[in-house]
Amino acid sequence: MRGVALTEVTTEYVFALGAAVAAVLPGATWLIARDTRESGAVLEAALAAGLRSRGQTPVLCGVVPTPALALLSQQRGVPAAMITASHNPYSDNGVKIFAAGGTKLTDDVEARIELELEAVLASFAAAAAAAAADAAADAVGPGSPESVVMPDAVDQYVAHIVALFPAGVLTGMRVVLDCANGAMSVVAPVVVSALGAHVTAINAGPNGTNINADCGATHPASLSAAVLDAHADVGLAFDGDGDRVIAVDNHGHVVDGDRVIALGALQLKAEGELTGNTVVVTVMSNLGFHRAMNAAGIDVVATSVGDRYVLEALAAGDHALGGEQSGHVIYRHLATTGDGLLAGLRLLRHVHSSHRSLTEMATEVMTTYPQVLVNVRVNARHPDIASELATEIARAEALLDGDGRVLVRASGTEPLVRVMVEAATDSIARESADALAAVVHARFGVAH
């Protein structure tokens, strides 16, 4: 869940969420971490208080990337909560919950948490909730355990990632890292340097308000410029909590998640590690990705949008690799969730060992179809929007005549309908997407 920090995502709400998840996912200990937003510490305190109200012992890991928290959760077999709004601006915040073992929640568990949250919010007056949240640093109830601090959480993650690769595997490589002024700022430069690369780090000075601000995976322009300035081989851009990565080649061109996953799939297949000869992506992956995998003899499983759906499909088929165009890349046999640093390091090693440029490799691996995405703010959630617009969608697909595709879906976190069209040319994709978006706005949109 995420929203505007302290107005939508309030201390009262996060306190109640802590109590709710403790009831649904009981365990003696919970791990809590956060990214670099200025609102993180107070929400951390509120969440810890909510957990303590149900007899849990919160362990505070401080500022670490989401994949680091998932790793610690996996190693200790305990549930965890990450306070982050991922790639959103600093003014937003939210909470990601991991089940014991560092895995994403299933739909039924999420539904149970929502019901319990409603019950908790209804069980005490708003004033009492506010007082409890404001006193978040204090134990709730006599004899309740206090929070414990894990001071070496970052060091544990760094040591784990470095140990996954041969010593000096990146020696001689020049790499620029855009840390998005987020949680990777204290991790990525250390790890990539430890593996032998010459590192230039940018946007690695978080101050609480500059996370994702015109930088990171959603704003790679500054990384492209820095790669050219440094004459670097590759650039990697992370998002605020470090679970996604976007690459930049030696000419400053952006290499998105589709190409990173495609290269990873070919690499695993060559190594005999692509289990089931299958890669898992979401319906947002470009048509060019599907055609490239088909040409390489690799099967593709497409899921709903969201890394947890990718993870479910990976687990169901015991597949090794999956992810999203946005840069979530999951090496399931190495991590329980998307890890931008791990995926980036796999890409760096692949480029370095091939003795070729990322420009050559990314260009050859697939051809990207022009893709246009239009977001339409609507008056309510429309989970069955594709059915509601079946006639209009069919008409748009017919006009593409098999050389493109149309996807209309509801956002999973906001009252938005996302209209995506891929076509042979950008103008065709734009015209079709705008026409469908106009229909959505006319029927369901919020008046301006």
| Active-site amino acid positions | 86
The sign of the CA dihedral 366, 271, 190, 197 is negative
Report DSSP state, residue 445.
Answer: B
Euclidean distance between CA atoms 53 and 401, whole angstroms: 59
Q: How many CA atoms lie within 13 A of 44 on its CB side?
A: 24
Q: Given the DSSP bridges, would you call strands 278-282 and 299-303 parallel, antiparallel or unpaired?
A: parallel
Contact 354, 256 (CB under 8 A): no
Report helix, strand or coil for 126: helix
What does 226-266 look like in DSSP terms, one character per residue? HHHHHT-SEEEEE-TTSS-EEEE-TTS-EE-HHHHHHHHHH
Contact 182, 239 (CB under 8 A): yes
Which residue's entry shows tokens 């965890």?
A: 80
Per the CB < 8 A criterion, the answer to whether 224 and 253 are in contact is yes
- Mapped onto helix, strand or coil, the DSSP state of residue 181 is coil
Local structure of 145: helix, strand or coil: coil
Indicate the SS3 state at residue 18.
helix
Positive or negative: CA dihedral 329, 334, 340, 341: negative
Query: Rounded to 5 degrees, what angle do the CA atoms 62, 330, 70 make?
Result: 25
Tell me which residue has tokens 């560092």.
Answer: 102
For residues 327 and 307, what is the distance between their CA atoms, to the nearest angstrom? Answer: 10
- CA nearest 39: which of 77, 93, 98? 93
Distances (CA, A) of 50 to 43, 136, 316, 390: 11, 8, 34, 44
Question: Would you call 196 helix, strand, or coil by DSSP?
Answer: coil
